[in-house]
């Protein structure tokens, strides 16, 4: 599991609002942008304070078309934008045709100024092109992973929903930016605020850096391996009562040896190990998303006994099933956050900025008491 370096946090605790810029590329994904901006807005509303400010940036300040055809006019261009603590590149479709050398050089300039850089959806591709992800762990939409690995071998690509690595933050597409921003808000302002934001968005489970994208196997293998795809689909359909490997080979009309070779050549593991991973992944989903007893989850995932399930789970996941269920990422963030500094005007609520005025009369305005955090200097 990727861990956060708390000595270099992307969203540092500070007395003033954290200033975030979003660089919109042509054909950016509206869902990714909204997923990143809305939790910032709600953090301000629920706290009753301007914890975050943000601006939309365009290459030249002109309207930028999203992938759904909606035009968005940025607040500023790259030449006249304010200073930011963090700048997030918002990518979308046809990413290789959506940026130029201007954006690359501007991002490199920001990096020299120690601005924290991020990418959402396919935005990591631009950071990689600028050589700003060399030596970093990075997440991107699963469609981009293969080309990123091929073109940028110095980037440590992964299939996680999002990754925080020192002064870089990257996430895949869809709603994954929401999880990343909630995670960062919890680090800076506490788990209570992140949880309240999640509730306001009717978002029932905040995912963390251990969560993986579900990548279609057909994308990973292409259509040239129909037997392997057929076998994996059989495995996925038979989690509670696992099928013996000899039977799987028989169903696919291949030998046991051919079965083993297919998995080693294309999935870099044995078929039994891959099958076990599928069952443990299903168990993890049930542990985190349901209240099923561990003994029932053990049975539902094809384990002969609860002790056997617990041993396998701890061996491959690093924690016991019970620890997985009760050790939510919010609690781990609280434990790892810096020690609090109290008595520094924490109860003081400043005058509401203009963009918060509309939310002042919402029932939820100022409803979350912020947890004290240390101010990073």
| pLDDT (tens digit per residue) in 135-170 | 999 998 887 777 788 788 899 988 888 999 999 999
Here the tokens at position 251 are: 């169903």
Please tell me which residue, 365 or 304, carries the higher pLDDT value.
Answer: 304
The per-residue pLDDT for 374 is 46
73 falls in which pLDDT band (50, 70, 90)?
very high
Strands 18-24 and 86-90: parallel
Q: Are 59 and 78 in contact (CB under 8 A)?
A: yes
- Determine whether 318 is exposed, middle or buried from the number of CB atoms within 10 Å of its CB (0-12, 13-18, 19+): exposed
The per-residue pLDDT for 2 is 42
Minimal CA–CA distance to 1: which of 317, 358, 268? 317
The per-residue pLDDT for 368 is 66
Indicate if the pLDDT at residue 232 is higher than 50.
yes
Q: What is the dihedral of CA 59, 61, 67, 72, to 10 degrees?
A: 160
Q: What is the average per-residue pLDDT within 39-45?
A: 93
The per-residue pLDDT for 56 is 96
Highest CATH level, class, for 217-326:
mainly alpha
DSSP state of 293: -
Here the tokens at position 149 are: 């690995």
| Distance separating alpha carbons of residues 13 and 377, to the nearest angstrom | 9
202 falls in which pLDDT band (50, 70, 90)?
confident
Q: What is the average per-residue pLDDT within 182-204?
A: 89
DSSP state of 371: P
Biggest CA-to-CA distance, the chain = 73
**Domain assignments of the chain as residue spans, ordered by start:** 18-213+338-359, 217-326
| Distance separating alpha carbons of residues 336 and 299, to the nearest angstrom | 35
Q: What is the average per-residue pLDDT within 25-30?
A: 94
Give, for 117, the enclosing helix (H) or strand (E).
strand 116-120
Indicate if the pLDDT at residue 79 is higher than 80.
yes
18-213+338-359 CATH pick, 1.10.3720.10, 3.40.50.880, 1.10.287.180, 3.40.50.720: 3.40.50.880
Q: Are 136 and 162 in contact (CB under 8 A)?
A: no
Q: What is the average per-residue pLDDT within 95-118?
A: 93
């Amino acid at each position: 599991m990727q861990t956060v370096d708390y000595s270099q946090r992307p969203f540092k605790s500070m007395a003033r609002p954290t200033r975030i810029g979003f660089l919109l590329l042509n054909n950016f994904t509206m869902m990714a942008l909204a997923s990143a901006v809305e939790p910032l807005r709600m953090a301000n509303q629920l706290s009753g304070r301007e914890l975050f400010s943000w601006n939309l940036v365009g290459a030249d300040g002109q309207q930028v078309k999203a992938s759904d055809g909606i035009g968005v006019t940025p607040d500023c261009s790259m030449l006249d934008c304010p200073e930011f603590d963090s700048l997030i590149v918002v990518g979308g479709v046809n990413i290789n045709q959506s940026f130029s050398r201007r954006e690359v050089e501007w991002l490199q300039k920001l990096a020299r100024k120690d601005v924290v850089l991020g990418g959402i959806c396919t935005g990591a591709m631009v950071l990689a092109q600028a050589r700003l992800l060399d030596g970093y762990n990075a997440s991107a939409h699963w469609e981009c992973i293969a080309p990123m690995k091929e073109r940028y071998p110095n980037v440590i690509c992964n299939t996680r929903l999002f990754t925080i690595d020192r002064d870089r933050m990257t996430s895949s597409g869809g709603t994954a930016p929401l999880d990343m921003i909630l995670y960062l808000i919890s680090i800076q302002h506490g788990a209570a605020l992140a949880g309240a934001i999640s509730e306001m968005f009717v978002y029932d489970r905040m995912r963390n850096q251990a969560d993986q994208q579900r990548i279609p196997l057909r994308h990973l293998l292409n259509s040239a391996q129909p037997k392997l795809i057929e076998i994996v689909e059989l495995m996925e359909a038979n989690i509670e009562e696992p099928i013996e490997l000899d039977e799987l080979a028989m169903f696919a009309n291949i030998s046991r040896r051919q079965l083993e070779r297919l998995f080693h050549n294309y999935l870099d593991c044995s078929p039994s190990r891959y099958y076990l991973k599928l069952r443990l992944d299903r168990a993890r989903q049930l542990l985190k998303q349901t209240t099923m007893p561990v003994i029932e989850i053990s049975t539902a995932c094809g384990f002969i006994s609860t002790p056997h399930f617990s041993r396998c789970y701890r061996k491959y996941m690093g924690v016991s099933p019970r620890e997985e269920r009760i050790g939510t990422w919010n609690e781990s963030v609280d434990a790892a956050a810096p020690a609090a500094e109290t008595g520094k005007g924490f109860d003081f609520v400043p005058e509401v900025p203009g963009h918060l005025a509309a939310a002042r009369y919402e029932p939820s305005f100022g409803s979350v008491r912020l947890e004290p955090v240390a101010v990073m200097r």
